[in-house]
Amino acid sequence: MPSPRVLILRAPGTNCDEETAFAFEQAGAIAERVHVNRLIENSALPDRYQILCIPGGFSYGDDIAAGRILATRLRQHLAGMVDAFVHGNGDRLVLGICNGMQVLMRLGVLTDGVAQSNGAAATLTWNNHGRFEDRWVHLVVDQTPCVFLKDVDRMYLPMAHAEGKFVAAHASVLEQLAQQGRLALRYAREGQGSVENEILPFPDNPNGADANVAGVCDASGRVFGLMPHPERHIDPTQHPHWTRRKEQPECGDGMAMFTNAVEWFG
């Protein structure tokens, strides 16, 4: 099978596109960084890609709210592209990392199909302590159909955000998402091997997210958004304690996500 092509979406303020493209390329994909304005000018351009990735950063300076302006531009000018990747024929993948997850949440694709009387089923809001937080976090994977997390049990990744707290509108929303395996990635204590629903204290849960949620997927498992940065830990030397380890793994923890995405097309 030919290597899948990845559209790394850029916008003013995006700053993790090169690292994300490199991670996909290391996994065997062909990654191209494309500005949102170029896509708006050429509506046929997205047809050449099999994976859409919205990387981290501060698109449009996170004015109004994190990811909202880019989400609005996508909704107004590229709704057909988003629908083709998210729904389409079920033969494409979508990944949103940090600011990318914020964009996907604003678009509503990560909570699509969840029963909710009015308003958004869930959102991402300010961290509990009200400031930007930058640290490494332990993560565990729940039972999930998420393509990107296949055969992954736990990860240790860096996070860096101010508006990453996942909040559900009602407990019933969390129940629906959990039953469908869509609360795919959770913050955890060091050494913890299973999911906990009780909110962990800071810093294990760095933002106070409901049910310790760090990543959410759609019902199909093809669309995934997470707040930590897998592209920042694809090599063992990126681990903060790499010089103190007696044995080095072949890859950093985040590499499996990109490999899974590429192998899905095989």
- At residue 96, the 3 state secondary structure works out as strand
Among candidate residues 98, 217, 233, 239, the one labeled active-site is: 98
Residue 231 among the catalytic residues: yes
Among candidate residues 53, 161, 163, 229, the one labeled active-site is: 229
End-to-end CA distance of the chain: 6
Task: Give the closest residue to 7 by CA, choosing from 85, 68, 87.
Answer: 85
DSSP letter at 24 equals H
Separation CA 22–CA 31 (nearest Å): 8
Residues with Cβ within 8 Å of residue 37, at least 6 apart in sequence: none
Task: Give the closest residue to 31 by CA, choosing from 20, 23, 39, 21.
Answer: 21
203 upstream amide cis, omega within 30 of 0 = yes
Q: How many CB atoms lie within 10 A of CB 132?
A: 12
Residue 250 among the catalytic residues: no
Which residue has 């590429």 as its token pair? 262
Separation CA 171–CA 66 (nearest Å): 24
Residue 170 among the catalytic residues: no
Among candidate residues 16, 231, 233, 239, the one labeled active-site is: 231
Task: Specify whether the CB–CB gap between 163 and 102 falls below 8 A.
Answer: yes
Judge residue 30's burial from the number of C-beta atoms within 10 Å of its C-beta, 0-12 exposed, 13-18 middle, 19 or more buried.
middle
Q: Give the residue numbers marked as catalytic.
A: 98, 229, 231
